[in-house]
Amino acid sequence: MSVIGLGYVGLPLAVEFAKEGYQIVGVDLDREKVRLLNEGISYIPDIPTEEVKPLVESGLLCATSDYSVLKDVDAISICVPTPLRKTKDPDMSFIIAAAEEIAKYCHPGLLIVLESTTYPGTTDELIIPSIVKNGFKLGEDVFVCFSPERIDPGNQKYHVRNTPKIIGGATPDCTEVAVALYTKAIDRVVPVSSTRSAEMVKLLENTFRSVNIGLVNEMAVMCDKLDVDVWEVIDAASTKPFGFMTFYPGPGLGGHCIPIDPLYLSWKLKTLNYNARFIELASEVNSNMPVYVVDKVVDALNAVRKSVNGSKILVLGVAYKKDINDIRESPSLDVIRLLEERGAEISYHDPYIPDLAHEGMDLKSVNLTADLLQNADCVVIVTDHSNIDYGWIANEAEIIVDSRNALKNIEAPHAQIIKL
């Protein structure tokens, strides 16, 4: 079996199948990932090296940048990136490139499963035409399915094996073949009627989160205008045992899924002359949250007769969520950029991100010290990593803008604390 794309989705999947005794060859164009994996070293925080090394040493797991290995495998899972362009339309180049390489080495009996999140219709429009152009018949010669990845980086409870797996085939026989394979490594496999249904499942899941986070972010803004503590309101509402699901506001959306996936659907619907209003509105609200956080910083400094221009501002956390080392779409990047545009002197601390080189930024994580906190004109908590002592920070800093409610139940008699 081969897994194309050995990132946060592909590597955990490859490891899970290798643990079941399958010989897995990963394919990735990043030669550093290939080198590390072949040395038995994991570069994904959720997958410990201690788990990878014995699989490599036993010959069950290896990696290469050479697509020709596909001629000898029975199944392929495609786990390549699907980013958005600046114009907010999907960049399908990675999927197209993978499909073209697979077509070169396709052979009878091959199962191909696309796992990359994308718009409904991608499997039909981009994968299948590349495969059948050589005369292969779907459901007889080759088998094609879509199975959305459901990886949640940093989640200690749910991982590849115990997260139910959706599978939709191009034909019923395609689904049957994929179900037979995935049940060997996944506790529960859930078949659906088509590839389009499977593609839509993932977009519904992440649109649900995006819209509800947009709602609670707007609720935070409204509560602020009404002089009400949104965190108290949410905690109280959460006591209702039915009809309410808890979501929390924050400085904006980040990561590989929620800020991006719903826009795949919105883009696709625009081609059908339909405006996905909930998606667009939620995206607008969530995208504006970094601006809202920066406005909080400006107001806090103004209250003590300081200008943001020339102020020393310490940003705590640049990963897109707590306890991981991923900065993709992180709202911290926007917060830092907006503050720098206003003339602030920025430093940051993140135990998971030692260096921040991104779109013109070139910063290094600073060590947290009492002097650093005392000399900062404002501390902004953007990512609430668990291994940071927020009580100590509250005792040392003068002004803190807390966008994550990290200081909940922490006494801070000397600090001015501004919540979201």
Question: Greatest CA separation found in the chain?
Answer: 74
Task: Using DSSP bridges, classify how beta strands 165-169 and 143-146 pair: parallel, antiparallel or unpaired.
Answer: antiparallel
Task: Using DSSP bridges, classify how beta strands 312-316 and 189-192 pair: parallel, antiparallel or unpaired.
Answer: unpaired
What six digits make up the tokens of 13?
């999947």
Q: Which residues pair with 348 in a beta bridge?
A: 315, 365
Among 148, 134, 132, 138, residue whose Cα is nearest residue 174: 138
Ramachandran class of 223: left when φ > 0, alpha when ψ lies in -120 to 50, beta otherwise: alpha
Q: Which residues pair with 169 in a beta bridge?
A: 145
Query: Do 107 and 69 contact (CB within 8 A), yes or no?
Result: no
Please state, in angstroms and rounded to a whole number, the distance separating the CA atoms of residues 61 and 55: 6
Please state, in angstroms and rounded to a whole number, the distance separating the CA atoms of residues 30 and 20: 26
Q: Which of 79, 145, 174, 257 is catalytic?
A: 257
To the query of whether residue 223 is one of the catalytic residues in this protein, the response is no
Q: What is the DSSP string of 231-258?
A: HHHHHHHTT-SSS-------S---SSST
* Placement of tokens 């060997």 in the chain: 184
Among 150, 145, 149, 148, residue whose Cα is nearest residue 195: 145
Active-site residue set: 257
